[in-house]
Amino acid sequence: MNTIIRHGVAAAERSPSYYTATLNEESAYPVLQGEVQVDVAIIGAGFTGLATALELAERGFKVAVVEARKVGWGASGRNGGQVTGSLSGDAAMGKQMRKRLGDEVDDFIWDLRWRGHAIIKRRVERYGIACDLKHGHLHAAMKPSHMEELKAAHDEALRRGMGDELQLLDRDAVRAHLDSPLYVGALKNSRNMHLHPLNLCLGEARAASSLGALIFEQSPVLQIVHGARPALVTAEGRIVANQVLLAGDVYHRLEPKTLKGMIFPAMGGIVTTAPLGELARQINPQDLAVYDCRFVLDYYRLTADGRLLFGGGANYSGRDSRDIAAELRPGIERTFPCLKDVPIEFQWSCAMGIVINRIPQLGKLSPNVWYCQGYSGHGIATSHVLGEIMAEAMSGELERFDTFAACSHIKVPMGDRLGNPMLALGMWYYRMLERLR
């Protein structure tokens, strides 16, 4: 069980989240000063950057990771903590990738759904990362049409050999798992997981460092210098490398000529209640992570110390909400009436990188400068798979990278000024569709 610990000045450098208050050990990597020479330099110490760095370090590469703030400062350390087989943009992915892969595309996408789980489990076990990793998840239906979708997903998983890990639940069976009146059924999945994402991120940084990777914090990259040996320039230092990976997702403004208008911020809000005591076992006796089937969904789980961590909706203006707790409390009380007026002790936001067609964006900015971004709210598992793919590509194994890089993406003129209103309009459209299905 975690103990709430305030980490003084270091905590002020992070969001005021439950994760910040319960991190195992605050990171304390140096600021980049002077010149460093490595095989691969990576911008961004979130899951994408660290997953790639760890893969490369395991392959014997000399790697440096440079982070503008703190390890796990962005979405990697602030999300809902659910590791699921949901894959953003899978339909669009299938349509585009079929041109390259033919009938093998369905198997390729199926593997993408679950590969991240295996990578994370292996990392946690190999490096002894304490991140409250647990199995068990419900995909919950709020109306009969949702159950039809879950039944189709269940049948496909059975066909692919996951019968021992899945169970389709009716209304009464769901009530045995959740003390909630909302759901008409659910798909229970024991392969899916939930965890403390900031502690996982920090643990992966320590693992990469133990293998010789250099990590620098509080060192914003000001410029990427392209060339035979590209360089990253910061206020006090410079990293020269054979290859560079830009893995900052929606938090950077580098390379605007190529990347502006391709990815947009959506702000998700999360809260955590006070410890619930016996109520925690009452509302969720099997300690499952949950999200529902709506386009704009709610998601929640219990923390290791018996709090309800609850998130929902998204603000597509790209700006933070003024009062996340006030926005999410009605959803908590609607889901669990017994939690009416429950104290909320933490509230924070999380900027998600949204791609218009929802397909993660992998590509090159020049022959030896790569980028990887855009998980549209499904980043924990996906970032680990794509970290593996990027490490393969920079090692000369290009097959999976080329499959993603061949996908077409929509580039919106005027960047965020037009892109965020487009996202807001799109989600309004999907909300309208939700009423009809």
Q: What SS3 class is residue 23?
A: coil
Judge if 40 and 117 occupy the same domain: yes
Judge if 83 and 114 occupy the same domain: yes
DSSP string, 376-429: TT-HHHHHHHHHHHHHHHHTT--HHHHHHHTS-----TTTHHHHHHHHHHHHHH
How confident is the model at residue 5, as a pLDDT?
Answer: 37
Would you state the torsion angle of the CA atoms of residues 119, 110, 142, 274, taken in this order, to the nearest 10 degrees?
A: 10
How confident is the model at residue 88, as a pLDDT?
Answer: 82
Round to whole Å and give the CA distance between 45 and 248: 8
How confident is the model at residue 318, as a pLDDT?
Answer: 58
How confident is the model at residue 114, as a pLDDT?
Answer: 97
Judge if 377 and 423 occupy the same domain: no
Q: What is the pLDDT of residues 233-242, one digit of tens each?
A: 999 999 999 9
Question: What is the mean pLDDT of the segment spanning 160-174?
Answer: 97
Helical segments of 128-177, H only:
144-159, 171-177
Judge if 397 and 424 occupy the same domain: no
Q: Is residue 3 part of a domain?
A: no
Round to whole Å and give the CA distance between 182 and 286: 18
Judge if 292 and 350 occupy the same domain: yes
> Where does the pLDDT of residue 3 fall: very low under 50, low under 70, confident under 90, or very high at 90 and above?
very low
| Contact between 195 and 133 (Cβ < 8 Å) | yes
Round to whole Å and give the CA distance between 377 and 314: 10
Q: How many CB atoms lie within 10 A of CB 378?
A: 23
Judge if 181 and 41 occupy the same domain: no
> Where does the pLDDT of residue 436 fall: very low under 50, low under 70, confident under 90, or very high at 90 and above?
low
CATH number, domain at 397? 3.50.50.60
How confident is the model at residue 415, as a pLDDT?
Answer: 54
Structure tokens at 99: 């041109």
Q: What SS3 class is residue 228?
A: coil
Judge if 102 and 210 occupy the same domain: yes
Judge if 181 and 245 occupy the same domain: no
| Contact between 86 and 376 (Cβ < 8 Å) | no
How confident is the model at residue 11, as a pLDDT?
Answer: 44
> Where does the pLDDT of residue 321 fall: very low under 50, low under 70, confident under 90, or very high at 90 and above?
low
Residues 6+ apart with CB under 8 A from 406: 96, 97, 99, 100
Mean pLDDT of the chain: 91
Q: Say which DSSP state 25 is in.
A: S
* H or E element in which residue 256 lies: helix 256-259
Q: What SS3 class is residue 66?
A: strand
Round to whole Å and give the CA distance between 350 and 301: 17
Residue 429 pLDDT exceeds 70: no
Q: Say which DSSP state 120 is in.
A: H
Q: Is residue 103 part of a domain?
A: yes
The candidate with the shortest Cα–Cα distance to 134, out of 82, 171, 183, is 82
The number of distinct structural domains making up the chain is: 2
Give the orientation angle of helix 47-58 with respect to helix 197-210, to 10 degrees: 30
Task: Choose between 87 and 3: higher pLDDT.
Answer: 87
> Where does the pLDDT of residue 118 fall: very low under 50, low under 70, confident under 90, or very high at 90 and above?
very high
Structure tokens at 424: 């807001």
Q: What is the pLDDT of residues 207-230, one digit of tens each?
A: 999 999 999 999 999 999 999 999
Residue 328 pLDDT exceeds 90: yes
Residue 414 pLDDT exceeds 70: no
Question: Rounded to an integer, what is the distance from CA 268 to the centroid of its chain?
Answer: 12
Q: Is residue 1 part of a domain?
A: no
E strand map for 59-125: 63-66, 82-83
Residue 419 pLDDT exceeds 80: no
Judge if 129 and 206 occupy the same domain: yes
Round to whole Å and give the CA distance between 20 and 78: 9
How confident is the model at residue 149, as a pLDDT?
Answer: 94
**In the block, residue with structure tokens 């529902």:** 292
Task: Choose between 127 and 418: higher pLDDT.
Answer: 127
How confident is the model at residue 366, as a pLDDT?
Answer: 98
Choose the weakest-confidence range: 47-61, 74-88, 301-315, 401-415: 401-415
Residue 428 pLDDT exceeds 80: no
β-pair type (264-273, 223-225): unpaired
Q: Is residue 2 part of a domain?
A: no
| Range ranked top by mean pLDDT from 48-57, 264-273, 321-330 | 48-57
Which range of residues forms the domain containing residue 274?
135-193+264-354+414-436
Judge if 296 and 271 occupy the same domain: yes
Question: Rounded to an integer, what is the distance from CA 375 to the centroid of its chain?
Answer: 7
Helix, strand, coil percentages in the chain from 3-state DSSP, rounded to 5 = 40, 25, 35
> Where does the pLDDT of residue 435 fall: very low under 50, low under 70, confident under 90, or very high at 90 and above?
low
Q: Is residue 7 part of a domain?
A: no
Q: Is residue 203 part of a domain?
A: yes
Round to whole Å and give the CA distance between 330 and 334: 6
Judge if 278 and 332 occupy the same domain: yes
Round to whole Å and give the CA distance between 179 and 162: 27
Residue 422 pLDDT exceeds 80: no
CATH number, domain at 163? 3.30.9.10
β-pair type (308-315, 34-43): unpaired
Percent of the chain whose predicted confidence (pLDDT) is above 70: 90
Residue 160 pLDDT exceeds 50: yes
pTM listed for this prediction: 0.93
Q: Is residue 78 part of a domain?
A: yes
Round to whole Å and give the CA distance between 403 and 400: 5
How confident is the model at residue 426, as a pLDDT?
Answer: 55
Judge if 329 and 285 occupy the same domain: yes
Question: What is the mean pLDDT of the segment spanning 270-275?
Answer: 98
